[in-house]
């Protein structure tokens, strides 16, 4: 059974995508519920809000500990930010306390890297570790982050090619990393759960089962 962290964000879409990819999926909000699932999806939404709510619900620390112990987690968009060990531009809250992440992935992410809402875009990606015979992965980016640094144990699964994006200026003429994996942690800057694309969730389910 796979959980979706249900504090804020597009929880329902991830539950549906997991079911479509062949897993049973449930919402997870409380620390006890973490122990009932074999892996967790951290959805897209607003990473500062999810961070604050996770601390308020007392689930941030238990989740950090589980991640350190090898628990499989897939983070999409805000979820990628929450899995990153380092946020390039952490937003402080009203008390001046900087945004925190759960961490686990040895990467540095930049929030809203492609620009604001109106710079949201879609593109096709070559995505490693998924069935290529089903074509490229169509990716929707909604105020997504990109990955600015990857550690030695992090595998890059997909990059946005500046030639394919409407973002030549933002990208500065270079490709940007938008999907990574390290051990049993998976993260994408984009939202496969909104396009009917099931291969990323299928990959995550295979990772949980130890098949990928
Ligand atoms: N679609 C998303 O998840 C956007 C992420 C959001 N910009 C953040 O920084 O948390």
**Its pTM surpasses 0.90:** yes
Q: Which distant-in-sequence residues (6+ apart) come within 8 Å of 192 by Cβ?
A: 17, 76, 137, 139, 198, 199, 200, 201
Residue 38: closest CA among 205, 201, 212: 205
Atom of ligand 1 nearest to the CA of 78: 3
Ligand 1 close to Cβ of residue 201 (< 6 A): no
Q: Determine whether the shortest distance from the Cβ of 189 to ligand 1 is under 6 A.
A: no
Q: How far is the CA of 149 from the centre of ligand 1 (A)?
A: 18
Q: Is 187 in the pocket of ligand 1 (CB under 6 A)?
A: no
User: CA 47, 48, 52, 55: dihedral to nearest 10 degrees?
Assistant: 50
Which CATH topology does 2-208 take? Rossmann fold (3.40.50)
Specify the residue for token string 């270079």: 174
* Host H or E run for residue 158: strand 155-160
Token pair in block for residue 104: 């686990």
The pLDDT tens digits of the residues spanning 18-63 come to: 999 999 999 999 999 999 999 999 999 999 999 999 999 999 999 9
- How far apart (Å, rounded) are the C-alpha atoms in residues 75 and 45? 11
Ramachandran quadrant class, 42 (left: phi over 0; alpha: psi -120 to 50; beta: rest): beta
Count of residues making up the chain: 212
pLDDT at position 173, please?
73
Check pLDDT > 80 for residue 73.
Answer: yes
Mean pLDDT of the region 137-165:
91
The domain ranges of the chain are 2-208
CA proximity to 201, closest of 5, 60, 16, 30? 16
1 near 25, Cβ under 8 Å? yes
Neighbours of 36 (CB within 10 A): 10
71, 40 Cβ separation under 8 angstroms: yes
44 ligand 1 Cβ < 6 A? yes
Rounded to whole angstroms, the Cα distance separating 144 from 128 reads 20
| pLDDT higher than 70, residue 142 | yes
How far apart are the CA of 100 and the centre of ligand 1, in A? 14
Q: Whose CA is nearest to atom 6 of ligand 1?
A: 46
β 176-182/155-160 pair status? antiparallel
Question: What was the pLDDT predicted at 207?
Answer: 98
């Amino acid at each position: 059974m796979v959980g979706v962290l249900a504090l804020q964000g597009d929880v329902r879409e991830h539950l549906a995508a997991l079911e479509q990819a062949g897993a049973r999926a449930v919402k997870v909000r409380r620390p006890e519920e973490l122990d009932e699932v074999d892996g967790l999806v951290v959805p897209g939404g607003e990473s500062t809000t999810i961070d604050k709510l996770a601390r308020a619900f007392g689930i941030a620390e238990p989740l950090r500990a589980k991640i350190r112990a090898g628990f499989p987690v897939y983070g999409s968009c805000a979820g990628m930010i929450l899995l990153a060990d380092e946020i390039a531009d952490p937003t402080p809250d009203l008390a001046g306390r900087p945004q925190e992440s759960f961490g686990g992935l040895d990467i540095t992410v930049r929030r809203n890297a492609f620009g604001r809402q109106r710079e949201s875009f879609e593109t096709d990606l070559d995505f490693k570790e998924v069935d290529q015979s089903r074509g490229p992965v169509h990716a929707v980016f909604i105020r997504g982050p990109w990955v600015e640094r990857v550690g030695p144990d992090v595998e890059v699964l997909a990059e946005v090619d500046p030639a394919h994006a409407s973002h030549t200026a933002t990208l500065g003429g270079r490709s940007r990393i938008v999907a990574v994996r390290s051990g049993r942690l998976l993260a994408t800057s984009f939202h496969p759960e909104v396009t009917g694309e099931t291969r990323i969730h299928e990959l995550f389910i295979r990772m949980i089962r130890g098949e990928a």
